[in-house]
Amino acid sequence: MALLTEEQIMLRDAAKGWVADKAPTMSLRKLRDTGAWVSGYEPGAWKDMAEMGWTGVVIPEVFGGSEFGYRSLGVVLEETGRTLTASPLHATAAAAASALLLGGSDAQKQAWLTRIAAGDVTAALAVDETAHHHPASVALKAEKSGAGYVLTGQKRFVPDAAGADLLVVAARTGGAPGETAGMTLFLVDKGARGLSALPLHAIDNRAHADLTFEATPAEVLGEVDKGWDVLAPTLDRATATLAAEMLGTASQAFEVTLDYLKTRTQFGQLIGSFQAMQHRAAKLFTELELTRSCVEAALDAIDAGDKDVSALVSLAKAKANDTLHLASIEMVQMHGGIGMTDVHDAGLYMKRARVAEALYGSSSYHRDRYASLGGY
Amino acid sequence: MADFGAEIDAFRTETRDWLEANCPASMRTPLTAEETPWGGRKFKWKNPDSKLWLDRMAEKGWTAPTWPKEYGGGGLSGAQARVLEQELARIKARPALFSFGVWMLGPVLLEYANEDQKREHLPRIVRGEIRWCQGYSEPGAGSDLAGLQTRCEDKGDHFLINGQKVWTSYADQADWIFCLVRTDTTRKHEGISFVLFDMSTPGVEARPIKLISGESPFCETFFSDVKVPKSQMVGRLNGGWDIAKRLLQFERQNISAGGFGGAAGLELEEVALAHVGSVDGKIADGDLRGRVAAHRMDARAFALTVRRVELEAKGGKGLGPAASILKYAAATLNQHKHELMLEAMGADGLGWEGAGFDSRNVRETRAWLRSKGNSIEGGTSEINLNVVAKRVLGLMDHQ
């Protein structure tokens, strides 16, 4: 674990400024209320992100990135998480970019990472097929067809996939669902034959989609039957960076609530002077501090290539899940009636919280994984 | 961490070689409660290696690695102390000394004591010659510590102390006490002074209190007409509250950094596997397994936070907000661990003593009972939460 470098502090401050200026929660409301959520983002915002270098934070310089690493990407996502910024940044620059980085051939990296870094394309990682995150259960079938492969099957609730130009898809070339062997990763172009995307109007108004593949042509990413070797570390990277975004969301939910405790009066007192409120606020603050340590440790472990990455990632996600869950509930409760109204942001935070908690594994999924990694 | 490159590498090599040559083999085994090295005039050394290990470490000043050499400390920089810590951990060395003098009193003496006091007390703390106890709480002053009533009167050439302390850790085994006393009855916080005196002074009596765990780590301590030389007041008259608070910070930090627990106990998941059984290598009771994992994750989160607080402090940011939550988190965590441990042991964990029960399990059961004090001692969890709410979060007092 390390302190932020000067570069990272600059990155954070720039992100803080941009988010306040260009992506307050009002932007999310606009996406929701105009129906523009289907595409998941405002093109102007995505262009800004690319110009600020956010799209290439983990991408090597030869492909147009800055290679600042995952901790740095986490620093940015924490800030976008604060205002619930709807963008393909996580899906593209963290999830899909990691798969390309870890499994891509030079040609594939050249073709896609450069365009991701430049902000010319967006991408998404399609793994789960049922209601819960369980990557080993992939069943979507990949079959040889001529020189290449075609995919047939479905993916459920793929994060930010509705408008994605490129899909990284986990499919089965061998083995049975539940086994990690026999999995292969594929690249599928948005316009590929037999691919259809159903945009999902979910509670968080992000551009998630169900995907259907009917003999859809696909290009192998990495080695056939050994997709798990790339998918597992890719999921760790996607999960840890999502936890960073969630830490930002939880921190903001807490700070907004704390401000309210300092302004709302009842019985002639500020409600924040009541001990029933003070102790709950202090406990939530405690959870936030503990969660921050886990998220930073997981991201640093990824950058350092530690052996212990998977356990730390499960730790970070489980803590981020539980803390954001608590923060979102307390945000509504401590605001009282106003927290139940649509005009207040509390509902937006709670809705995004539940989606983020489910993506890349619930707390029970990660506790089970942590215990298994620990040999019990 | 390679702040000083070659220099720190050299220190590491030197330290490693020294530890290899000087740390006795039995000091590289897990510490047991009976062999906890408290030192002091009355201490009985169960294992002669413990004494040897203490003397060797004290000779280098490494029982207080960052204290100045002139007071017997190691004179190490933060980076060097970290290396020493890592090298000690590498060979699983036991701590050479358990000491309220090192953890609590020494740091405030370095800040507040005069030169004579530093020269008299610090080297003896480093060498483990004097065991200290803490005279803080009183029957009427627990969470509201500043309400303390123990009187200290100026009798011209000496102070005269009358009153009672309670929850004085190991007062019956300690040689000296650092004690908060009232020197002005007309003001609350500004009427408190900080004095040091020998527990063998006439008029001092320590009576152990038997706890629910069967142990007596705490005493009631009585003072009747105890004469104390005036040179033994630290800081100025009526200026003791600042010192008291500073010392509490060190106490809470120390509790926080090490967590609660002391001697190494059994590992929770191993106990669960052994007593509940396993299926495919997993704890057979799925619900318990989930809660064991949740606890282990909380423990990891806590350890990472301690590490982060240390890093931020070294990074020149001082003690950040994360430091304030550590004592509360440590208490909650340790109590939760012991509840799970008891549950995992089942009937095997319900023994008090004697035949039919494994002594290691009995020790865990006693530790479970002892852990209930964690959220009370050194500031209750409720007081800790008040402090976080007011000082860190800026929430206001009720009018």
Please write the tens of the pLDDT for every residue from B76-100: 998 899 899 999 999 999 999 999 9
Does a structural domain hold residue B62? yes
State the total domains in chain A: 3
Range of the domain at A304: 229-373
pLDDT tens readout for residues B38-51 = 999 999 999 999 99
How far is B71 from B110, CA to CA, in rounded Å? Answer: 9
Residue range(s) defining the domain that contains residue B61: 6-98
Both B173 and B145 in a single domain? yes
* Cα gap B335→B355, rounded to integer Å: 27
Q: Look at B321 and A370 and tell me if their CB atoms are within 8 Å.
A: no
Kind and range of the H or E element at A371? Answer: helix A363-373
Same domain? A211 vs A284: no
Distances (CA, A) of A246 to A74, A83, A352, B79: 10, 11, 9, 34
In the numeric block, the tokens 């009193």 are attached to B105
A218 lies in the same domain as A147: yes
Beta carbons of B301 and A293 less than 8 Å apart: yes
* CB-based contact, A196 to chain B, within 8 Å: no
What's the token pair of residue A35? 């129906």
Q: What digits encode the pLDDT tens for the residues A282-322? A: 999 999 999 999 999 999 999 999 999 999 999 999 999 99
Q: DSSP letter for A243, please.
A: H
Q: Which residue of A has its CA nearest to B324?
A: A286
Asked whether residue B2 carries a pLDDT value surpassing 50, the answer given is no
Mutation site for B-interface testing, chosen from A260, A262, A285, A366 by largest number of B Cβ within 10 Å: A285
* DSSP letters for B100-159: HIIIIIHHHHHHH--HHHHHHHHHHHHTT-S-EEEE--BTTBSSSGGG---EEEE-SSEE
In a domain, B93, yes or no: yes
Catalytic residue ranges of B: 251
What pLDDT, in 10s, does the model give residues B144-160? 999 999 999 999 999 99
Find the distance separating the first CA and the last CA of chain B, reported in whole Å: 49
CATH of the domain at A166: 2.40.110.10
Identify whether residues B291 and B338 lie together within a single domain.
Answer: yes
Within 8 A of A277 by CB-CB distance, chain B residues are 395
DSSP assignment of B311-353 equals HHIIIII-S-GGGGGHHHHHHHHHHHHHHHHHHHHGGGG---S
DSSP bridge partners of B203: none
Three-class SS state of A180:
coil
Task: Name the residue facing B396 among A2, A270, A318 (closest C-beta).
Answer: A270
Residues B255-272 have a mean pLDDT of 72
In a domain, B211, yes or no: yes
CA distance A162 to chain B (A): 35
Cα–Cα distance, B199 to B132 (Å, whole number)? 9
CATH no. for residue B53?
1.10.540
Single-letter residue type at B397: D
Residues A41-50: tens digit of each pLDDT: 888 999 999 9
Indicate the residue among B205, B239, B273 that finishes a domain: B239
CATH number of the domain encompassing residue A301? 1.20.140.10
Looking at the domain assignment, is residue A250 inside a domain?
yes
Count of domains forming chain B: 3
Question: B34 pLDDT band (50/70/90 cuts)?
Answer: confident
CB contact under 8 A, A371 and B290: yes
- Which among B269, B312, B395 has CB closest to A3? B312
Evaluate whether residue B61 is within a structural domain. yes
Do residue A154 and residue A265 come from a single domain?
no
A282–B contact, CB cutoff 8 A: yes
* Subunit contact B283:A371, Cβ cutoff 8 A: yes
Tell me which residue of B205, B219, B224 sits closest to B161, measured CA to CA: B224
Cβ distance of B396 and A273 shorter than 8 Å: yes
pLDDT value, residue A310: 98
User: If you average pLDDT over every residue of chain A, what do you get?
Assistant: 97
The domain spanning residue B181 has which CATH number? 2.40.110.10
Using an 8 Å CB-CB cutoff, list chain A residues near B281.
Answer: 375-376
Question: What is the pTM for the complete model shown?
Answer: 0.89
CB contact under 8 A, B297 and A319: yes
DSSP result, A29-60: HHHHHHTGGGG-S-HHHHHHHHHTTGGGTTS-
According to DSSP, the β-strands at A166-172 and A183-189 are antiparallel
DSSP annotation of B94 reads P
Task: Write down which residue in A205, A225, A245 finishes a domain.
Answer: A225
Contact A1, A299 (CB under 8 A): no
In a domain, A92, yes or no: yes
- Residue A283: closest C-alpha in chain B: B385
Specify the amino acid at residue B229.
P
Share of chain A above pLDDT 90, in %: 96
Minimum mean pLDDT range among A54-68, A108-122, B73-87: B73-87
- Mutation pick from B300, B333, B340, B380 vs chain A, by most beta carbons of A within 10 Å, is B300
List the single residue in B with minimal CA-CA distance to A274. B398
Same domain? For A304 and A270 the reply is yes
Beta strand residue intervals within chain B, DSSP E: 132-135, 151-154, 158-169, 176-182, 192-198, 204-209, 218-229, 233-234, 278-279, 282-283
